[in-house]
Amino acid sequence: MRRLATLALCLLAAGCATRPPQPGSEVARPRDCRYLNFLVDYSREAAGMSFRDVQLSEEIAGAMTKELERLGARKTEEPGEAYWSLMLMAIHNVRDGGFIFSATLSLRQLSESHDPGIATYARPGDAAAAPATLYMAISYGSLQDAEQLAREFVRQADAALLPSARQLCAFEGQEEARHDAVEAQVADPARPL
């Protein structure tokens, strides 16, 4: 009898008693998926930067943040929660009456974070399979196009970098659902051990 109870517990723990996800069924992304958290910062004190440049940088950072949030990412102020960093600098181009900005969306270095447990799925020496970790662009135009160019930068960076983060979120969501299903079975009083 003891062996039967042990076998039943092993089957439950292995997930054999749970139904696998059906093809085509989507697992909801966890509400606060850590792989889609990002920090935003912009230059405030670069040499030769005027107050107008800082305001322009803030405006572009705001447009980029809104676009990232629209695409499902979440801005955080806590460095230990951020998986990505968005850094930028914008400067008025006095000669042409427009602006120029440089922006980078990159995977944060784990040494910056308090949580060194963020894993990547690449084997050492397998550079072809490693997901992209950096997107950088320089853009310029008239001031009326600033928001549009900021959103375009984010869409391109999203396409280059965030699909792997969304896969991690989906995997984490599946694992949470599987864990919850096993917990529900174990806690069910109608199913004696």
* Chain segment 5-52, per-residue pLDDT in tens: 443 433 334 343 333 334 333 334 445 788 899 999 998 887 888 999
At residue 193, the pLDDT reads 58
Separation of first and last alpha carbons in the chain: 11
Element (H, E) at 142: strand 134-142
Positive/negative CA dihedral, 19, 21, 23, 25:
positive
Q: How far apart are CA 2 and CA 48, in angstroms?
A: 77
pLDDT digits (tens, 9 = 90+) for 118-152: 444 455 565 555 667 888 899 999 988 999 999 99
The secondary structure of residue 95, as a DSSP letter, is T
Both tokens assigned to 144? 């009326």
List the chain domain ranges. 32-109+129-187
- 32-109+129-187: CATH topology is Double Stranded RNA Binding Domain (3.30.160)
Q: What is the pLDDT of residues 48-78, one digit of tens each?
A: 889 999 999 999 999 999 999 999 999 999 8
